[in-house]
Structure 1
Amino acid sequence: MRKKNYIPAITITIIFAAAILLCLPNTRDYLNSVISAQAIPAPKDACQTTKTTTFIRSYRVKEKSDAYSIIQAKNGEYVITGHTINPGELCGYSMFWIKADGNGNKEWSKLYNNCSSDGYAITQLTDGNYVAAGEISGEFITDEEQLKLEAQGDGLVVKINSKGNPIWTRTISRESRDTPAKLIPTKDGGFVMSGMTGALVGQPDVADVMHIMFLGNFNANGETNWLKEIDADVQHEIKFAEQTKDEGYILIGNIKLVDENNQNVPALVKLNKNGEYEWATGLESVPLEIPNLTIGPDGKSVKVGIPNKMHVPFGTFFTAEQTSDGGYIALGNFYSSSLAADEITNLTKNAGKELNFVAVKVDDKGRFVWTRTLKLKKYLEDSVIEKTKDGGYIIMGNALAIDDQQLGQRIKTYDEMMNEYYKKYPIMSQETPASKKEMEKIADTIENTNAPFEAKNIILVKTDADFKYQWGKKIGITKNLRGYSIIQAADSGYAIAGTWHTGIKRKSLGSWIETTEAMILKLDANGNLGNNNGLIADFTDTESADIGSYIVANNLNSPKLLQSYPMDNIVRKIKVGDKKGVNTVVSAAKTYNVQFCSITAKNDTAGNVTVTKTRPQMKYEETKEIEATSKKGKTINDELMPVLKKVFNGEVKLWDDFSGGWVAYRFKRLVTKDDINKISAALITIGYKIDSNANGDFTATKIGTTLNFHFYLGDTNTGHLDVNY
């Protein structure tokens, strides 16, 4: 399914980056500044009471169904879209849309049973009708067109009336894979659609690995007003734009630095109402500097040139919003781009166990304000972040219901079962009714044992406007369910579209198939159900941190940032039928009064100027200071440390003492030639003779001692001195 592959790809990216950056400076302050969110309850500024209705209802279309998008209509009803399939049939997924009243009772269910379509987005237009968008493969494509395709999948857009029947249908596509992700109604009765498309390379059937984002404006009949493209981060495939108060757009894109080898930098990008560029703010870590050294004609001297910069993303950003104060915020997943060895160990240890979210706030002109992380001690898949009415944010994702997987013990048990089986029925022996029955029994045991460990729960975390923890919920507990889309309802509660696992299973070709149903889950403003049924528990295991010292958020521009992107917009005809099916009442509708509290943004960074740390500062703060322990090292350190402290204002650490021949120091800033002159002059006053070379290094000698000083002037990522003896 479309939404189940992206977050694991991010984990791979993080671990790969960690391995590359093993020896680079890290964000030590980030780790040290971590504060347990559960230890500091959020203050309550303003509370109100409102009437709310909660429920969980699921709707069977075919045997397996998933809902990927939800809206609340103007009359309080809910509409969802997704896809459905009957495993074992010669028919792929088919798109559906379902409408339910405010209590979750189904009003109609429609199925476009073409075996090659998916529903990913839905909205209501100003005329009261709906527009659903998704992806369709193969349909409407001629054999000649098929030969030119570089990837499978066209954008599918359907306008639907109040009864669920199509008014018109269009495909919007090029020769790439085109996947709509978000629909926004416009005041003129039309809509804006954004999503992902593939970069065309001019060859058929080429793997569509480079993705770009498209943003299009359409009238009420689905005709194109304009379409634009912008580079997007391939690590999180699905991206979309949000509309701003001035009817413009805010989104996440990639800025190509044409003067720096076309390196890409993720950026928060503001467009006007016509999709034209206004400004962009980069979202990157402090760049790594690659030494630029040239050997002199003598073969010994080294000329230090201007270092080359390697730009490193600050995180993987997937959505942007306008904030209540008129500014903007970029939201996504965070990973340090400068990891030390102990952090890599910690990352490896916790891989698949936790996920770090990040928010970067800028003002209305794109100028940096603050950035914070919120770490969830649960690993989430399919994560989304949406803005809430009080200016805060709601984070949602799917996590394993049971943390203790006991995988090793289960595998051992299964191996023992299979060993016993093969003792009775050796490999290559003739199958008998008895051996077949026993093998089926083993398969059933494995299925029943594994099932609880494969179940997922929904994790919800509500933050305030400053991206600080407010409350959290774990939904499902012993049940298996998933959420893919969340909105805030008119009563300030939350409505989730997703999948309900019914527990109903059948066996097909030796494998168990479980029936799943498209789900609407409606919570109150505090994330609770009126009829809880043991399905919801608090989730508090989070940590937050301010990391403004580690981001570079500069104004950026690029001549190739935004371009027109013509796509074929073709009217189609489709046949849609009613689909009757079972509806499951997981939690019955309950209407009651609920009190909930909003938290006013404290703007606790107002008046503060955040200074981005340099790489040498990061490396110095990461470094663990040691005491000299070797006899020779202690003698040398006792002589050198007072000199170095004077030159570097006390900001010096001994970090290595190797008894076989050296001591090593780290400084909070880069070493200059003036520093070297001061050090050599100070050594002369205590009896050393200095012999310098053209590279700034020198040898200091006196009776019984020879010291070779190496300052690494070409390395602009750290202030460093090795003294060999």
Structure 2
Amino acid sequence: MTFNLNSPPTFNFFYHQLVAIKSGKYKIGLLLFFCLALPYLSFSQKVLWDKTLGGDKDDLLTATQITSDGGYILGGTSNSGKTSDKTEESKGSTDYWVIKVNSNGSIAWDKTFGGTGEEVLTALQQTKDGGYILAGYSNSTAGKDKTENSRGAQDFWILKLNKNGSKAWDKTYGGNRNDQLSSLQQTNDGGYILGGYSKSDKSGEKSESSKSTYPLTLNDFWIIKINAKGTILWEKTLGGNGEDKLATVQQTTDGGYVLGGFSSSHKSGDKSGGNKGGRDYWIVKLNANGKKVWDKTIGGNDFDNLSSLQQTTDQGYILAGTSSSDKGGDKSEPGRDSILNDYWVVKLDADGSKVWDKTIGGNLQDFLNSVQQTPDGGYLLGGSSASRISGEKSEDRRGEMSGTYDYWLVKLNLNGALLYEKTIGSTQLDELTDVLQTSDGNYFLSGTSNSRKGGEKSEKSKGGKDFWLVKLENNFRRIQTIDFEPILLTKEVGDQAFTLLAKASSGLPITFEVLSGSATLKDNLIKVTAPGIVRVQATLNTRLPTPLKALWLPLQVSNGK
């Protein structure tokens, strides 16, 4: 059997096994075995391109997503006027600034949204209709792009855009005090889940009182489920007696939600475990209606701040954040410096129990902001580092002055072992927000920089702080294999079910589906029920944001007597 791979390869594979079935007894005289080898793209230092985008003042990038056309949607907060890359005037103190760029980083359009006061964008996503949803918080009254008054101080503020960036609608949600949105995701029903933190009592859109001992100064998690038009379906306040700040919320494969942030609360309120240090990672699992299923407190003896999490292909979770804790509690390794911060990654199983943890850092400050599971089952970490060559950091920082930071990319395998790491930066402050693996297997890094031209930065600053985008190539390649186990079929209709077996060298799970023909399938156990042709699809589940359709490999099996 021969076949060709079209370039570029995909990490979302589809195999088709065709079995001819006729009445009575039959024999298939073919041993089914093949191996499809595709490149697993590993590490290289080559920067394909970089772009600096900004106006005459400060522009802070806070959210990035790969779009369905292979480009990117960028979002942040700006107080720049109509200058340089910014085509619209400022609306108030600070505004949402959104930029659509193509796969090479060229600007397709940009939009500024705001009211009369201060708006801070924290999250965005391309929606199923090809448009976009923007999320953050605002203290503006009604006016300009904001159609509703502030409920108290700062409120959740979301905007729905069409595919060209024009506003469709906006919504304000809040109580009588500060409510700051930090995370948003479109849900399977076409609506949205919003997550943030709140000091508000029962007021405005908030149906529950604060859980903290000192609500004027301390926060709770606040979650809102809305429909596709922004109407509230339910909302939930979760917290203990201390400070609880949500960083991220995601819908899980069971239709529920997982929340992650940090907590200084003791065992109280919704928090079932005591605190382990100054701050701990706090993970809460909700069902589809917002009812708590379980919660977990994970930490060491000092400050542990969670910034990112993702449900993994094994239905567990990967947690990422920053820790100044030493060895102890849930932390199995000492910090790289006794008082400074390191990357801290924790793997949980589906029930929230710890599987492993990993500390990564150098001799100075290292802040982890982003984690993504990669197609090989490993993990891609992105953050900012001020460290020199030390610990896990093999390259010196680019800036010589104290307080300078660079982008720091780290790749781990499935079990948390370090595979490689890379420093990208220039002369001053380069703070990474997101790192994403793209459909071509390369990496897209995005964040904020006030650096001059130098190091990996090919353009000078446009004003104060700017958006800084970097596309990084990976040249070193290893082979990843997907195998079907040998199968010799001698069956007739009505025989017992038989097992379909396939294995990925990465260890990622493979699922099966009957595409056509008369057969029943439960997990990987298939039973034919009538004469004809049965077509079965096996899929390797990966984490590429825009997976490509893969090769069809039909096996035509002859009927033997």
Cα contact 1:213–1:232 (8 A) shared by 2: no
How far apart, CA to CA, are the structure 2 residues paired with 1:228 and 1:261? Answer: 14
- What aligned pairs does 1:380-391 form with structure 2 within 5 A after superposition? 380-381=366-367, 383-391=369-377
Q: Which runs of 5+ in 1 are unaligned?
A: 1-44, 286-311, 405-449, 505-511, 527-592, 604-725
Change in 2 beyond 3 A, CA 1:259/1:197: closer
Question: 2:267 aligned with 1:257, yes or no?
Answer: yes
Change in 2 beyond 3 A, CA 1:359/1:61: same
How far apart, CA to CA, are the structure 1 residues paired with 2:97 and 2:164? Answer: 14
Change in 2 beyond 3 A, CA 1:70/1:317: closer
Question: 2:293 aligned with 1:278, yes or no?
Answer: yes
How far apart, CA to CA, are the structure 2 residues paired with 1:348 and 1:53? Answer: 29
Aligned length: 398
How far apart, CA to CA, are the structure 2 residues paired with 1:49 and 1:403? Answer: 25
Query: Which one has a larger percent helix, Structure 1 or Structure 2?
Result: 1
- Give 1:331's aligned residue: 320
Change in 2 beyond 3 A, CA 1:235/1:211: closer
Deviation, 1:165, is 1.0
Question: 2:63 aligned with 1:69, yes or no?
Answer: yes
- What aligned pairs does 1:366-405 form with structure 2 within 5 A after superposition? 366-381=352-367, 383-400=369-386
- What aligned pairs does 1:132-143 form with structure 2 within 5 A after superposition? 132-140=134-142
How far apart, CA to CA, are the structure 1 residues paired with 2:452 and 2:191? Answer: 42
How far apart, CA to CA, are the structure 2 residues paired with 1:259 and 1:516? Answer: 41
Deviation, 1:67, is 1.1
How far apart, CA to CA, are the structure 1 residues paired with 2:103 and 2:58? Answer: 24
- Give 1:518's aligned residue: 467
Deviation, 1:262, is 8.7
SS at match of 1:274: coil
Q: Taking every aligned residue pair, what percent have the same amino acid on both sides?
A: 21
Deviation, 1:190, is 2.0
1:351 partner amino acid:
I
Q: Deviations over 1:217-256 (max 9, x none)?
A: 2222111222222227977845112222222222236686
- Give 1:107's aligned residue: 108
1:276 partner amino acid:
K
- Give 2:131's aligned residue: 129
Q: Which of 69, 73, 77 is residue 79 of structure 1 equivalent to?
A: 73
1:257 partner amino acid:
K
- What aligned pairs does 1:528-677 form with structure 2 within 5 A after superposition? 595=477
2:267 partner amino acid:
L
Normalising by the residue count of structure 2, what TM-score does the alignment of the two structures yield? 0.60
1:61 partner amino acid:
G
Cα contact 2:378–2:416 (8 A) shared by 1: yes
How far apart, CA to CA, are the structure 2 residues paired with 1:239 and 1:456? Answer: 22
Cα contact 1:159–1:166 (8 A) shared by 2: yes
Q: Deviations over 1:659-704 (max 9, x none)?
A: xxxxxxxxxxxxxxxxxxxxxxxxxxxxxxxxxxxxxxxxxxxxxx
How far apart, CA to CA, are the structure 2 residues paired with 1:257 and 1:401? Answer: 36
Cα contact 2:53–2:462 (8 A) shared by 1: no
Change in 2 beyond 3 A, CA 1:257/1:455: closer
- What aligned pairs does 1:191-590 form with structure 2 within 5 A after superposition? 191-200=192-201, 208-231=216-239, 237-252=245-260, 257-258=267-268, 264-265=274-275, 267-283=282-298, 315-334=304-323, 335-336=325-326, 350-352=338-340, 355-362=342-349, 364-381=350-367, 383-400=369-386, 452-478=401-427, 480-501=429-450, 503=452, 514-524=463-473, 526=474
Structure number with larger C-alpha Rg: 1
How far apart, CA to CA, are the structure 1 residues paired with 2:73 and 2:434? Answer: 12
Deviation, 1:75, is 1.0
Cα contact 1:502–1:514 (8 A) shared by 2: no
How far apart, CA to CA, are the structure 2 residues paired with 1:259 and 1:77? Answer: 44
2:180 partner amino acid:
T
Change in 2 beyond 3 A, CA 1:278/1:496: same
Q: Which of 43, 51, 55 is residue 49 of structure 2 equivalent to?
A: 55
Deviation, 1:166, is 0.4
Change in 2 beyond 3 A, CA 1:502/1:314: closer
Deviation, 1:378, is 4.3
How far apart, CA to CA, are the structure 2 residues paired with 1:166 and 1:594? Answer: 43
SS at match of 2:315: coil
How far apart, CA to CA, are the structure 2 residues paired with 1:470 and 1:492? Answer: 16
- Give 2:531's aligned residue: none
SS at match of 2:248: coil
Cα contact 1:401–1:453 (8 A) shared by 2: no
2:124 partner amino acid:
I
1:475 partner amino acid:
I
SS at match of 1:182: strand
How far apart, CA to CA, are the structure 1 residues paired with 2:215 and 2:283? Answer: 28
Cα contact 1:498–1:518 (8 A) shared by 2: yes
Deviation, 1:330, is 3.6
Change in 2 beyond 3 A, CA 1:348/1:381: closer
Cα contact 1:81–1:122 (8 A) shared by 2: yes
SS at match of 1:103: coil
- Give 2:99's aligned residue: 98
- Give 2:544's aligned residue: none
Cα contact 2:101–2:109 (8 A) shared by 1: yes
1:472 partner amino acid:
E
Cα contact 1:283–1:313 (8 A) shared by 2: no
Change in 2 beyond 3 A, CA 1:243/1:164: same
Q: Which runs of 5+ in 2 are unaligned?
A: 1-36, 82-89, 203-208, 276-280, 391-398, 454-460, 481-503, 509-561
- Give 2:16's aligned residue: none
Cα contact 2:239–2:269 (8 A) shared by 1: no
How far apart, CA to CA, are the structure 2 residues paired with 1:260 and 1:237? Answer: 14
How far apart, CA to CA, are the structure 2 residues paired with 1:64 and 1:490? Answer: 31
SS at match of 1:240: strand
Deviation, 1:168, is 0.4
SS at match of 1:133: strand
1:193 partner amino acid:
L
Q: Which of 211-220 and 231-240 deviates more? A: 231-240
- Give 2:494's aligned residue: none
1:122 partner amino acid:
L
Cα contact 2:75–2:121 (8 A) shared by 1: yes
Change in 2 beyond 3 A, CA 1:61/1:226: farther
Deviation, 1:519, is 2.5
Change in 2 beyond 3 A, CA 1:257/1:452: closer
